[in-house]
Amino acid sequence: MKNTENFKDPNQLDLFAGILYTPEQEKLIDDFIQNQKNQILFESRKNNLNEAVLTDNGFVKEVDFINTFQTKIVTRELTLGYSWSKNQFSTEQTYEIFEGDLFLKGKKFNSYQKPNELINDKFSVSFDGDKVQCAAIQNQYRYIKPKTLLEKLNQHNEYQKTLFKDFQRETNLKRSVIEKYTKLYPNAVITVTSDWTKYSKSFEVIEIKFKSGSYVQFRLDTYNNKEYLYKKHDASFATLSSDELLERFSKQEALK
């Protein structure tokens, strides 16, 4: 705590190790506490109005949104006054504060984060009169009608559920493919790697590689619940010269 001797009346004494404040300091403390009360009243009214915007347009509390707004009593050390006027001082006061806000409730799934589960999440929502905005749901910052936002929230939740189901199907298929080729070729090394194309972006590949260096890669088809050949590599071809390759190809049977 900062030294307050410069602000005390020399005729005043400390009582029970406490501090007797000057009239100026008392006013700063009273003003601060009153400002806190005014701010809480303002924020509480605004919170109630914003909640009404949601409920009046079909949002269900504890289903589509939560309201965590609350007040509580705290005891904290404050620094009041202004350093430029040399009346700044520290004081410990007990006063009321507010915390929390309105949040939309929804689902979230991210296959790149652990654990790979469909989780309940909350999203910040902003208000501008009777319009609302939630960037996490809208993917943009334009204020829209509450009923439109509710539709987008429901669409978002269904999409997240679909992503999770697709991930589960892919995970189960990947596991079964690995188990199948592990049993068929116990001496091969089976790994899950990734590849990328302009149209498919990044995707997983299951590679079965043999001691010779030859390998076969499969992609997963979750729609038909099976794997299909993606790439193949015969290591023995890599050691052949062009003449040897031509000779070998010349002896292959004609296509039927």
At 64-91, the pLDDT tens digits run 999 999 999 999 999 999 888 788 999 9
**C-alpha dist (Å) from residue 76 to 46, 58, 64, 73, 147:** 26, 41, 35, 10, 42
| pLDDT over threshold 50, residue 10 | no
Supply the pLDDT for residue 18. 59
Supply the pLDDT for residue 19. 74
Indicate the domain borders of the chain.
Answer: 5-100, 104-165, 185-249
- Measured CA to CA, the distance from residue 140 to residue 162 in angstroms comes to 22
Contact of 204 with 171, CB cutoff 8 Å: no
Contact of 30 with 93, CB cutoff 8 Å: no
Q: Is residue 140 helix, strand or coil?
A: coil
Task: Please name the residue that has the structure tokens 């592990």.
Answer: 182
- Measured CA to CA, the distance from residue 137 to residue 140 in angstroms comes to 8
- Measured CA to CA, the distance from residue 210 to residue 63 in angstroms comes to 54
Supply the pLDDT for residue 7. 40
| pLDDT over threshold 50, residue 3 | no
| pLDDT over threshold 70, residue 235 | yes
Give the chain's end-to-end CA distance (angstroms, integer).
93
Phi, psi of 62 (to 5 degrees): 70, -5
Q: What's this model's pTM, rounded to 2 decimal places?
A: 0.75
Strand-pair category, 102-108 with 65-67: antiparallel
| pLDDT, the chain, mean | 90
Residue 256 corresponds to which tokens in the numbers above? 């039927």
Supply the pLDDT for residue 4. 41
Residue-wise pLDDT tens digits, 87-113: 899 999 999 999 999 999 999 998 777
Residue 129 corresponds to which tokens in the numbers above? 């009169």
Element (H, E) at 79: strand 70-80
CA 166 to chain CA mean position, Å: 20
